[in-house]
Homo-oligomer: A and B are copies of this chain.
Amino acid sequence: MKELEDRIQRDGQILGNGILKVDSFVNHQVDPLLMDSCGKEFARRFASLGATKVLTAEISGIAPALMTAIHLKLPVVYARKTKPVTMPDQVYLTLAPSHTKGRMVELIVSPEYLAQGEKILIIDDFLASGATILGLVRLAEASGSKVVGIGALIEKLFEGGRAALKHLNLPIESLACITAMDGGKITFGEPV
């Protein structure tokens, strides 16, 4: 999606260690109009899947997932990383390694909002190693739901997430696919 690629090229910062900082429009400050365009584009690409719910992980997944859910007119659930007092004792919980935090994080969903038979569309900000998205897939499967598609704003193809998700045989869409981040230069391409 050209609008997102242009914005990454203009405002993204390569911090080293494979980290792309997009804090000025995705992760700390959010550009709501860009996010609306991204949500509309996800809705268009996934319109035919018959999804019944959008699932994401707090915190950075919330904005793109919410904007996708608006355009699909579906509820969105965000997996929590700490269990709030409002959640029942019995939950779906899985562990996923966090690249930016350098440790395992919990992903928790209440059975109240992930019922058997749902068709789940997973939306997140990044597809890097795929670890967070695989965690969300495990949560959906634990509930007896079926994941029908996976979308990420930004894919770092060279970190292997698409390969790690291949066995799921699901449509995977990223709106900006980065094939290389060498020498301070961001190169976009098509997933292969």
Residues of A within 8 A of B (CB): 15, 19, 21, 23-24, 27-33, 35-36, 58-59, 62-63, 66-67, 69-70, 73-78, 80, 84-87, 100-101, 109-110, 112-113
Contact = CB atoms under 8 A, between A and B. Distances in A.
Contacts of A31: 75
Given A19-B86, A23-B110, A30-B76, 15 more contacts: A21-B86, A23-B87, A23-B113, A29-B75, A29-B113, A30-B62, A30-B75, A32-B70, A32-B73, A32-B74, A58-B58, A59-B78, A59-B80, A63-B66, A85-B101
A112 B24 CA distance: 8
Nearest to A74: B32
A83 to B, nearest CB: 10
A27 B58 CA distance: 11
Contacts of A33: 70, 73
Kindly name the residue among A28, A36, A84, A112 whose own CB sees the greatest number of chain B CB atoms within 10 A.
A28
Contacts of A73: 32-33
Contacts of A19: 85-86
A32 B75 contact: yes
A27 B86 contact: yes
Kindly name the residue among A23, A31, A33, A35 whose own CB sees the greatest number of chain B CB atoms within 10 A.
A23
11 contacts: A19-B86, A24-B113, A27-B84, A28-B77, A28-B78, A28-B80, A32-B76, A58-B58, A58-B59, A63-B66, A66-B67
Contact of A15 (B15, B62, B86, B110): B86
A114 to B, nearest CB: 9
